[in-house]
Amino acid sequence: MIVDDHDDFRASVGRLIRSWGHEVAVASDGASALSLADAFQPECGILDVSMPGMNGLDLARRMRQRFPPAQLYLIALSGHEDAAVREGCLEAGFDEYLLKPADIALLERLLGGDRPDSRAASH
């Protein structure tokens, strides 16, 4: 599941991930993402950190209430290269923290199950 308030980014990442053979659902905000997640039951969520209304950290916290880490792998996408933002993402329940633009090869490995043992490796 991809959640981002920028239409072009959301569509581009969705097309890319579909080309790798994954089923993709997209949402433009936190509230619609929560509704979609209940129906879609995602295995992975790629969430924009900075969204109006419910930001990505708040969304991650709410997603973690519904889906434990063993069921849902959460990836934060952020334009902020800041240790405090990274730490906030970890505290909110994200498994990974990627800077925009995301490393495509790394994203493909993460979605393929090649995930580091430690949370939020430096990317």
pLDDT of residue 116: 59
pLDDT tens for the chain, residues 1 to 123: 999 999 999 999 999 999 999 999 999 999 999 999 999 999 999 999 999 999 999 999 999 999 999 999 999 999 888 899 999 999 999 999 999 888 899 999 998 866 655 444 444
Rounded to an integer, what distance in angstroms lies between the CA atom of residue 49 and that of residue 10? 13
Six token digits for residue 4: 């981002």
- Residue 69, CA distances (Å) to 64, 65, 75, 123 in order: 7, 10, 11, 20
Each domain of the chain, given as residue ranges in start order, spans 8-95
* Cα dihedral 46→32→6→56 (10° resolution): -50
pLDDT at 121: 44
The CATH class of 8-95 is alpha beta
A 10 A CB-CB count for 10 gives 19
Look up the pTM and report it: 0.88
- At residue 80, the pLDDT reads 81
Interstrand relation of 44-48 and 2-3 (parallel, antiparallel or unpaired): parallel
Which amino acid, one-letter code, is at 72? Answer: L
